Amino acid sequence: MPADLLAHADAAKGFMPADEGALLHRVAVERAAHGPVLEVGTYCGKSAIYLGAAVRQARRSGSPATVAFTVDHHRGSEENQAGWEHHDASLVDPESGLMDTLPVFRRTIQRAGLEGEVVALVGRSTTLSAHWRTPLSLLFIDGGHAEEHAHNDYSGWASWVMPGGYLVIHDVFERPEDGGQAPYHVWQRALAGGAFAEVGTVGSMRVLRRDSGDAGDPVG
């Protein structure tokens, strides 16, 4: 990760520890030359900087068409709303009273110089995934952490990971006392489906590789 982009990632608002970000960047560098990467859960763009840095590197190495897509409705998850643990009042739009992380995301990506590499898809994950048909070199799931949203993200996007591509899941905590269980359940589902095998882990970040089926085939 180039030092300037690492500094931007460190400075960005968000929920990605540096060691987990380094893993995300490393696996995205491995894969980004093979096709677009996509994350679910943009928030303010912290993890998108790691993905955008990998895309830049892949472009410079001869894959000019690759790109990082990042999906979010920018209204925040349950835990980002007022009164909850991860609420940040500075992210509330004063006119609507709703959370709006889109302006901060845009500033973050512009400051990092990654507007060409990182493309925001603004909307509900299920709305966007229902229309998605493009094989992905890497899928990073870090969206809503309620069971419903985490499973929808897997159901909607994971089948589009290409053979040899990576599925990266954030906030996988095996013990309930360490954190919410939905990402852990999605990780279990991915392994049980048989299409993915685990290839790496740092902290709460799990990396799985697609070992069977083609993009678009069911993954369980």
Ligand X SMILES: C[S@@+](CC[C@H](N)C(=O)[O-])C[C@H]1O[C@@H](n2cnc3c(N)ncnc32)[C@H](O)[C@@H]1O
Q: Contact 189/147 with Cβ under 8 angstroms? A: no
- Residue 106 or 124: which CB sits closer to ligand X? 124
Which distant-in-sequence residues (6+ apart) come within 8 Å of 131 by Cβ? none
Residues contacting 123, CB < 8 A, separation 6+: 71, 73
Question: Smallest distance, Å, CB 65 to ligand X?
Answer: 24
Measured from the CB atom, the residue of 42 and 181 that comes closer to ligand X is 42
Closer CB to ligand X, 43 or 196, in the complex: 43
Residue in the shown chain whose Cβ atom is closest to ligand X: 14
CB of 111 to ligand X, least distance (A): 15
Interface positions with ligand X (CB under 6 A): 14-16, 41-43, 46-47, 71-77, 101, 124-125, 142-144, 149
DSSP 30: H
Has 131 been annotated as catalytic? no
Q: Catalytic one among 145, 151, 170, 185? A: 145
Half-sphere exposure of 21 (CA within 13 A, CB side): 23
Question: What is the closest distance, in whole angstroms, from the C-beta atom of residue 49 to ligand X in the complex?
Answer: 9
- Cβ count near 7 (within 10 Å): 13
Q: Which residues are catalytic?
A: 145
